[in-house]
């Protein structure tokens, strides 16, 4: 399986321009024989939308722009980020998985950062679920940016049987590391290493680049294999189409060696969480 990680810099609030970028990179990925191309968080709209949120929101089942993207998924699966209007006036930061002309799965961002430079909960409703779903490559799961930093979310996808965990992000970069990139990039890579290893799953993380409203986005997209090893990593600055070949047999080999999946007991976790939630309410 070949994946293409489309590390892009969207145009803020310009759906048509961003659609052109998507279609061009989808075709380029298809020519490079990729089976799946992944775009960053809010790739159709840009990130710092604020009052623009209602202007760029769309219903993926009816909007003509999404129809073009579904048509483009006839020869290659696509993951992208957009503002979803699920009901009139109710907006979500969402991700879609498109395959063979259909919307296979939608994920609505659950953890909305609203502190410091972040203001998402002022403009978006909160998603409620983390669900693994079937693709032609195996079971997959989606997370959006801050979702990834909740290890509970990663566990839910693991418990749901995900073989491939896809994270789309619009993470700003802060500080500088000795390796020449942003210091905050290490946090994302640590989560990628840990979740891929303990889930014995492929981990695909796609971050955006560019500048918006004084924010510099950190790039650094990466792929980890089910043994927690980096397969590919993009630059920390420029736009890039990063290709990686995944040997899906590695999932089986990792699960033979490390029996985390075999030994998992989600019912015990559920019972413990129910007690914790009950105690908090009391």
Q: Tell me, what DSSP letter sits at residue 42?
A: T
Which class for 14: exposed (0-12), middle (13-18), buried (19 or more C-beta within 10 A)? middle
pLDDT surpasses 80 at 173: no
Average pLDDT, the chain: 95
* CA pair distance 209, 7, nearest whole angstrom: 7
Among candidates 42, 66, 41, 22, which has minimal Cα distance to 241? 22
Tell me, which fold does domain 2-281 have in CATH? Answer: Nitrilase/N-carbamoyl-D-aminoacid amidohydrolase (3.60.110)
Q: Which residue would you say has higher pLDDT here, 282 or 217?
A: 217
Residue 282: the pLDDT is 63
**Tens-place pLDDT, residues 259-275:** 999 999 999 999 999 99
**Beta strand residue intervals within 67-148, DSSP E:** 77-87, 90-99, 102-108, 133-135, 138-144
Per-residue tokens: 76: 């290659």
Q: What pTM did the predictor assign? A: 0.95
- Name the band, by pLDDT with cuts 50, 70 and 90, for residue 237: confident
Structural contact between residues 274 and 268, judged by C-beta atoms closer than 8 angstroms: no
Domain boundaries, the chain: 2-281
């Amino acid at each position: 399986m070949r994946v293409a990680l489309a590390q892009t810099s969207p145009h803020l609030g310009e759906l048509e321009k961003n659609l052109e970028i998507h279609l061009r990179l989808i075709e380029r990925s298809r020519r490079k024989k990729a089976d799946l191309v992944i775009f960053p968080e809010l790739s159709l709209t840009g990130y710092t939308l604020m009052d623009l949120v209602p202007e760029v929101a769309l219903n993926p089942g009816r909007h003509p722009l999404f129809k073009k993207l579904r048509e483009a998924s006839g020869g290659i699966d696509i993951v992208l980020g957009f503002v979803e209007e699920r009901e009139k006036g109710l907006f979500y930061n969402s991700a879609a998985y498109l395959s063979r002309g259909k919307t296979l799965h939608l994920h609505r961002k659950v953890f909305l950062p609203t502190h410091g430079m972040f203001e998402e909960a002022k403009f978006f409703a909160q998603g409620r679920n983390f669900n693994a779903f079937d693709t032609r490559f195996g079971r997959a799961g989606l997370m959006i940016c801050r979702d990834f930093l909740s290890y509970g979310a990663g566990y839910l996808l693991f418990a749901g049987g995900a073989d491939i965990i896809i994270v789309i992000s619009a993470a700003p970069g802060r500080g500088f590391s000795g390796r020449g990139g942003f210091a905050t990039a290490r946090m994302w890579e640590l989560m990628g290493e840990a979740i891929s290893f303990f889930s014995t799953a492929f981990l695909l993380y796609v971050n955006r680049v560019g500048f918006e409203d004084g924010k510099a986005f950190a790039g650094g997209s990466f792929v980890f294999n089910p043994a927690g090893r980096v397969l590919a990593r993009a630059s920390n600055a420029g736009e890039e189409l990063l290709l990686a070949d995944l040997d899906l047999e590695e999932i089986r080999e990792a699960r033979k060696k490390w029996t985390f999946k075999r030994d998992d007991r989600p019912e015990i976790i559920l019972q413990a969480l129910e007690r914790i939630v009950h105690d908090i309410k009391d």
